[in-house]
Structure 1
Amino acid sequence: MEPLVVIYGSTGTGKSDLAVELATRFNGEIINADAMQMYEGLPIITNKLTSSEKRGIPHHLLGNIPLEDEPWSVTHFKREANRIVAEIRDRGKLPIVVGGTSYYLDGLLFDERLVEEHKDAAAGILPTRDELEAQYPILSGPAEAMLAKLREVDPAMANRWHPNDIRKIRNSLEIYFSTGRRASDIYAEQRVRKGAAQARSGSKRSNSWKTLLIWLYAKPEVLNERLETRVDKMVDKGLLDETAEVYTKLQSRLAAGEDVDRTKGIWQSIGLKQFEPYLRALEETPDDHSKLDALKQAGIEDTKTANRRYAKSQVRWITMKTLTSLQEEKVLDRLFLLDSSNIQLWKEEVLEKGVELTRQLLADEQLPQAVDLSETAREVLSSKVERSNRQEVACNQTCDLCKKTFLTEDLWQTHLKSKKHRKAVEWVKRTSLMVIDQAPGKEAAQEEPRVSQGEAQAAQGEQPQGIQEAESKPKPNEPL
């Protein structure tokens, strides 16, 4: 096995900076694994390194696809990244893969984590997404219709996805339409094959796995403040000009009658959606400065919120997906968390420790225990591993009061006990229709507002009887 360094982490933790430092010291080249940074241009929106920040280090899969292209599938990324890794090694250099799109990284590292491209048995070709849309118009329809169809053909997969997650719903349908088989069945077969292979080998993979995984982690309260400051700096650097550029391209395509799927690709980049009301008003009412200022400030705040949510989702992916895969592969000891919370200590806590880990990997020395690197590493890894070990029960429950859907029993029960849900229940109690008993010749007597059995159960943290628990299925390790 030849060495490989992979750097995980949420946005704003310094992944790209560390990658450049390691490449400089160990004769490396960098492969980008950030889906948004694969698009051409837009250095501010996608937060690309500048030429000076790259310090002459070759970067691959960076700014390599046009804005109008769809994002690469995991299979496409895996194929291209593997090809580039082999080329870098042929040059006698160290490949370093870095990015915040963790399902790209997981797809690259782990086999049987995704449905590979299947060829049509009769024609021997794989239908493209456009060809599938032409044959199955439902794939370009509303999310509700796609989810209803998925529930019909593959209920196990339908129960895994949130009703608003169009991309995942569509992907599962595409697998069914292109292969003629349910994705849930394919994943189940993959798990059986993988278990059989591990049983035959009977050995720990970590003994021969020359891959070093570095997880840059910053404490949430610190990272949130850092992300907010970064948005302000992005605005100063010209974020609005870049969003206006993308918005103009979008309007031109729509005016030409093109059908633009805004649920994927560059249209999902943080900043465009948040500033769209401001950009629209800038065209329609350019002289209304008061309105424009308010919309601009709202766009800034919304962008900050979106960044915080994105960072949280990135950590959750690593916790629930990556750690699980590492445990199954018996290589969890190859993941090292470096604490980037304190910028003043970045050199000691991130750079020096990352350099030493890479040196030990290349020298075939014994790597340290991950929990011994820092107190943060001990606390976070212990808690996250414990959480990833927890058996999650699928439920796909919808709260009719709060209009939210939850995919696991743990999240559902947490919601029922939340302050927001309890307030909603109390509000329903207060605003329910009053039941009035009125006998002839007597004044109406008012009773207490009546609450449905389900509402009463919800108020006590119980599951309403009117909502049936979805069939629990094993959760295959499928990248988004």
Structure 2
Amino acid sequence: MKPLIIIYGSTGTGKSDFAVELATRFNGEIINADAMQMYKGLPIITNKLTAKEQRGIPHHILGSIELDEDPWVVTRFKREATRLISEIRAREKLPILVGGTSYYLDGLLFDNKLVEKEEQESPEGWVSNRDQLSDKYPILKGPPDAILKKLREVDPVMADRWHPNDTRKIRTSLEIYFATGRRASDIYAEQRSRRESKVANQDPTPRQNLGEILLFWLYARREALDERLDKRVDKMVQNGLLDETKEVYDYLQRRLASGETVDRSKGIWQSIGFRQFEPYLQALKETPESSELRKLKQAGIEDTKTATRQYAKYQVRWMTYKTISSLREEKLLDRLYLLDSTDIHRWNEEVLAKGVELARRFLNDEQLPLAVDISETARDVLTDSVQKSNQQATPCRKTCDFCNKVFLTEELWQTHIHSRKHHKVVRAAKKRSLVPAHYAPPRALVAVDTHMSEGHSSGNESSTSLNPP
């Protein structure tokens, strides 16, 4: 038996602590799968465990890359993690992967599911020098709206696939076209055809290096987790978050002052806590005596809390709609166990004790219980998640003019127009006399073509309208 334990879960659920507990009890070593925790330093922004909290357990790929490095693509993570798994087993120890970047874990676990796409999407896969490419095609250095307009000309399929604010993916799709002379949408279509052919021919999925797998999903219900995350941000501020963000800001300014071009759409620049405090840090540097500093600081704290809550929500959605769907396809769903960390006071009982017992049975090759029998939360969430993962997302492109947001699936659109936040914005618009008083969302939604001014038309494109039906 070549055992491997993988720990999924959103931020704030206790994944890192749980991994250390398992490693302590079962002679394990930990492999980090959190993209931000790969960067050196910045322990508060990236939420790294302290040396004391690591309790002498070896942690790999933790604090190992420089601030100016791009985050690893999944192909690189997969290659390095596979090597480390083999080395840890050679020492007769248990490899434990843990992290909130499910993209990495899925890329390792589900062969070719994400890797083939990324080999074409990432600069590592299809062009040796990104700077030379942008020198040859100046549009790549242009404003985001110009890049999107060009992509619509050469590859409208990919242009419609990305959210207008997703500048990095839009630019990457255009880079693929310039670098290869082929549309990214055509390349992906060929890859899908090859994968479907493998499935039709019942080709085996090569997962021999991973061995026997046990998966944990640390989960907390939304309200409890949101409250916990807000308190964690307050604690981070008390522990020196602003000093760390200033360190990153000063480092960025030095690079910009030297004339260096910095791609801020990825890497450490996207870490939650830096972007949100940047207006405060800029004002602190330019006008240190400004009376607005206090307001900017508080805004940074609130924005960091909001971004953290949104990220946790995103992580759960990924698990629900991507990971669980892939686990079902790979016949691994029976090895996924949800541990309820909603009540922090019952963490030892609900997460630690149950997780340790499951790991013990797994390592001793004993029969494991049904995942839905672990707890009431496990039964409810897993059942609901499996049902949702069975539902295919309906592609669309709809714009809410009130909230200034674009949605690329019908499910996300419906969720938005029925949300409290959307209704609140509409009510505020009514008060400003921007809509007639008898407007009643969400029923009074008028389908319009958001690209009519550009000469495009699509039956799946619509927006909320200021004109009542």
User: TM-score range, shorter-chain basis?
Assistant: 0.7 to 0.9
* Partners of 1:238 and 1:399 in 2: CA distance: 38
Give, as a single letter, the amino acid of the residue that structure 1 aligns with 2:248.
V
Provide the residue aligned with 1:334 in structure 2: 335
- Return the offset for 1:203: 8.7
Choose the corresponding residue for 2:248, options 229, 246, 249. Answer: 246
**Residue 358 of structure 1: aligned partner:** 359
C-alpha distance 4-409 of structure 1, shift in aligned 2 (>3 A): same
Q: Counterpart of 1:443?
A: none
TM-aligned CA distance change 1:285 to 1:380, over 3 Å: same
- Separation (CA, whole Å) in 2 of partners of 1:385 and 1:313: 17
How far apart, in 2, do the equivalents of 1:91 and 1:130 lie?
Answer: 42
Partner of 1:412: 413
**What is residue 273 of structure 1 aligned with on the other side?**
275
Structure 2 counterparts to residues 312-461 of structure 1, below 5 A: 312-417=313-418, 420=422, 424=426, 427=429, 431=433, 460-461=443-444
Task: Answer yes or no: is the 8 Å Cα contact 1:118–1:179 preserved in 2.
Answer: no
Q: Which amino acid counterpart does residue 404 of structure 2 have in structure 1?
A: K
CA distance in 1, matches of 2:185, 2:364: 42
Matches within 5 A, 1:184-195: 184-195=185-196
Change (3 A) 1:459 1:84: closer
Partner of 1:7: 7
In the TM superposition, what is the alpha-carbon distance from 1:213 to its structure 2 partner? 1.4
Q: Which structure has the larger Rg over C-alpha atoms? A: 1
Aligned position for 1:162: 163
Secondary structure at the counterpart of residue 397 of structure 1? strand
User: Which residue of the partner structure matches residue 104 of structure 2?
Assistant: 104
Structure 1 equivalent of residue 454 of structure 2: none
Q: Distance in 2 between matches of 1:13 and 1:256?
A: 41
Other-structure match for 1:464? 447
Give the equivalent residue in structure 2 for 1:438: none
1:84 matched to which residue of 2? 84
Identify the residue that residue 93 of structure 2 maps to in structure 1: 93
Tell me by how many angstroms 1:201 deviates: 3.8
Deviations 1:256-279 (A, max 9, x none): 222112111111111112222222
* Cα pair 1:30 1:59 within 8 Å, conserved: yes
TM-score normalised over the length of structure 2: 0.86
Q: Deviations over 1:152-190 (max 9, x none)?
A: 333333222111012222333344444444443444344
Alignment partner of 1:264 is 2:247: no
Equivalent residues of 2:325, 2:390 under 8 A apart: yes
Looking at structure 2, the residues matched to 232 and 457 of structure 1 have their Cα atoms a distance apart, in angstroms, of 39
Counterparts of 1:105 and 1:470, CA distance in 2: 36
Q: How many residue pairs were aligned?
A: 448
| Residues 425 and 458 in structure 1, CA contact (< 8 A), matched pair in contact too | no
Structure-2 separation of matches of 1:340 and 1:426: 37
CA contact (8 A) 1:5 1:212 kept: yes
1:281 positional shift: 2.4
Q: Secondary structure at the match of 2:218?
A: strand
Amino acid at match of 1:96: I
Alignment of 1:295-306 (within 5 A): 295-306=296-307
2:7 touches 2:215 (CA, 8 Å); kept in 1? yes
Distance 1:299 1:422 in 2: 23
Following superposition, the deviation at residue 352 of structure 1 comes to: 1.7
How does the TM-score come out when normalised to structure 1? 0.84
Q: Secondary structure at 1:70's aligned position in 2?
A: coil
Aligned-partner Cα distance in 2 for 1:372–1:272: 41
Counterpart-to-counterpart distance in 2, 1:81 and 1:252: 34
Higher RCO structure (Cα 8 Å, ≥6 apart): 1
Distance, in Å, in 2 between the alignment partners of 1:78 and 1:203 is: 19
Mapped partners of 1:381, 1:105: distance in 2: 19
* Cα distance change on mapping 1:422 and 1:306 into 2, 3 Å: closer
Go from structure 1 to structure 2 and tell me whether the alpha carbon gap of 1:28 and 1:306 turns closer, same or farther (over 3 Å shift).
Answer: same
What SS does the aligned partner of 2:119 have? coil
1:5 alignment partner, SS class: strand
Structure 1 residues 42 and 213 mapped into 2: Cα distance closer, same or farther (>3 Å)?
A: same
Separation in 1 of the partners of 2:375 and 2:205? 26
Residue number in structure 1 paired with 2:219: 217
Q: CA deviation at 1:373?
A: 0.8
Name the CA distance, whole Å, in 2 between partners of 1:363 and 1:180: 54
Contact 1:213 1:334 in 2 (8 A): yes
Listed as ranges, the gaps of 5+ residues in structure 1 are: 434-448, 473-480
Q: Which piece of structure 1 moves more, 101-110 or 154-163? A: 154-163
Amino acid at match of 1:193: R
Q: CA deviation at 1:366?
A: 2.8
Counterpart contact for 1:78–1:108, Cα < 8 Å: yes
Give the residue type in structure 1 aligned to 2:443: Q
- Cα offset, 1:128, TM superposition: 3.4
Residues 35-84 of structure 1 show CA distances to partners (whole Å, capped at 9, x for unaligned) of 11111101111111101111111111111111111111112212221222
Deviations 1:103-140 (A, max 9, x none): 11111111222325369xxxx98523334333333333
Instruction: Name the structure 1 match of 2:144.
Output: 143
Aligned residue for 2:168, secondary structure, equals: helix
Please tell me whether the aligned partners of residues 127 and 178 of structure 1 are also in contact (alpha carbons under 8 angstroms).
no
Deviation (angstroms), 1:9: 0.8
Contact 2:403/2:425 (CA < 8 Å) preserved in 1? no
Contact 1:231/1:304, CA 8 A, preserved across alignment: yes
SS in 2 for 1:117: helix
Preserved CA contact (<8 Å) 1:159 1:470: no
Helix, strand or coil for the counterpart of 2:13?
Answer: coil
Deviation at 1:429, TM superposition (A): 11
How far apart, CA to CA, are the structure 2 residues paired with 1:415 and 1:210? 40
Report the CA distance between 1:197 and its aligned residue: 3.3
Identify if the C-alpha distance between structure 1 residues 130 and 30 changes in structure 2 by more than 3 Å, giving closer, same or farther: farther
- Alpha-carbon separation, structure 1, partners of 2:78 and 2:118: 10
Superposition deviation, residue 229 in structure 1: 0.9
Among the aligned pairs, what percent are the same residue? 64
Q: Distance in 2 between matches of 1:238 and 1:95?
A: 33
Contact kept? 2:119, 2:126, Cα under 8 Å: no
- Is the contact made by 1:34 and 1:98 (CA closer than 8 Å) also made in structure 2? yes
